[in-house]
Structure 1
């Protein structure tokens, strides 16, 4: 169980460097969408009903944008800076939709380190299978502070 594990804290501010990055790949499957819909009770038919989506300009179901944000915030919590990080601010744009069964490649890059406010600015970009940009954003995160 997650609550029972003693987890190592992520990188502190002084351990990070501008340009440091990670890239992750996620394929969006029906099980992921059903979990999202079950948790949020968001019943927008554009997200799951193929017949409905076929009647729209999108032509097929799209992935809810909040799911993409969830992948980003999870990557920050797991990898960059890691466990114990706090997201203070985030801004995202979604120039094109990501569709069911597509794979998204997301890159997170430390763009700025603010020693005074003890926070970092992470640039985020996600592309689909056709290498089209489907996600662009900025996250301001406070790396974990190790207890003395």
Structure 2
């Protein structure tokens, strides 16, 4: 934790291969509308039930990048956590996601490369027993933060 109370995520030395994390999330209609408004995405598969059904879907589907944001948010908040940077992300969308479905994301650390300072995560997401996506995420965890009160370099550390 920094002197201003900011919490940072795990460093590469604090992460081990085989470490796992499970996150349960759902995406509701309001979240889809916010996403569509922010991105100006006008794909009718996301906003027009009749059109989506004509295309063979049960209902309006959730944008893939909105589903992906659950992964990126989990990396930023939990594993490794605040201060992490995603350097590579490869995703296979296997099935559509519909609004209000309960999704279970499982993240597993499959490689810790201390030389490159990169952690590789395998991610799967399921809706009940149905696999909806597989992903590989490469993340650069935060470095250890020095106590700012003990380091003086003549520059305001908050800038």
Task: Structure 1: state its 5+ residue gaps.
Answer: none
3-state SS, counterpart of residue 82 of structure 2: coil
Counterparts of 1:111 and 1:141 in 2: how far apart (Å)?
Answer: 12
Pairwise mapping of residues 20-31 of structure 1 onto structure 2 (< 5 A)? Answer: 20-31=19-30
Judge which range, 71-80 or 93-102, deviates more.
93-102
Which residue of the other structure, out of 139, 146, 152, is the alignment partner of 1:141?
139
Residue in 1 that maps onto 2:149 = none
Once the two structures are TM-superposed, the CA of residue 31 in structure 1 deviates from its matched residue by 0.7
- Normalised by the size of structure 1, how large is the TM-score? 0.92
Alignment of 1:75-90 (within 5 A): 75-90=74-89
Runs of 4+ in structure 1 over 4 Å off: none
- RMSD, matched Cα: 1.2
Distance 1:24 1:134 in 2: 14
Alignment of 1:1-148 (within 5 A): 6-129=5-128, 131-148=129-146
CA distance in 2 between partners of 1:58 and 1:51 (Å) = 9
Corresponding pairs, count: 143
Structure 2 residue runs without a partner (length 5+): 147-159
